[in-house]
Amino acid sequence: MTVLQVMSDADAEQVVLRTTDPEVIGAELARRGIVFDRWPLPADQHAATEDILADYASRIGDLNAEGRYRHIDVARIHPDEDDPAWPDTAAAARGKFLAEHRHAEDEVRFFAGGRGCFYLHLDGEVVAVVCEAGDLVSVPAGTKHWFDMGVRPDFLAIRFFEEADGWVGDFTGDRIGESFPTLDELLAA
């Protein structure tokens, strides 16, 4: 389930808004300059990368009509319970994104499967957006944020980049993310 939770950046327990209504989520994010959309899901979330991109070719073409995104790829993380290294691999992958950072370009993601949570640190508030399969979100360049994929990462996302090194983060050094609920805690609430 897609969730939007808006909290004071000074106190995570001061929840200003919590909703699962996609229309309210879209309106609240738009009010803050964040693009949110819903796309249909692919027939097979386990398909090859080329097939996933082909399934969304029309939507990708519409989003990239101006040719802004020169690098479009698919990122997947699925639990592998048969791999004894999986817990460490998952923790390492999750840890890369938990620190507050920003990017020189928009961070655009379409979740074709699974889930993840973007935490946007905006003027006096933290806006947590739990994205599920079917959600597209675009975090504007320069927006301070962090991302949590949960203790058991599982997602399939189409990523859009202007430059090949588009993900490179400018880390703020602020440890704000440590005082806010994790993805798993948000979903349990």
Q: What's residue 43's pLDDT?
A: 66
- Looking at residue 168, what is its pLDDT? 84
When mean pLDDT is compared across 12-26, 71-85, 111-125, 173-187, the lowest value belongs to 71-85
What's the one-letter identity of residue 179? S
3-state SS record for 90-159:
HHHHHHCCCCCEECCCCEEEEEEEEEEEEEEEECCEEEEEEEECCEEEEECCCCEEEEECCCCCCEEEEE
pTM here is 0.94
**pLDDT at residue 167 in the model:** 75
Return mean pLDDT, the chain: 94
Q: What is each CA distance from 39 to 135, 144, 165, 171, 187, in whole angstroms?
A: 6, 26, 26, 31, 22
Q: Which whole number is the average pLDDT over 113-118?
A: 96
Percent of the chain residues topping a pLDDT of 90: 80
Is 46 in contact with 124 (CB distance < 8 Å)?
no
Q: What is the pLDDT of residues 30-52, one digit of tens each?
A: 999 999 999 998 767 778 899 99
pLDDT digits (tens, 9 = 90+) for 54-109: 999 999 999 999 999 999 999 999 888 888 888 898 898 899 899 999 999 999 99
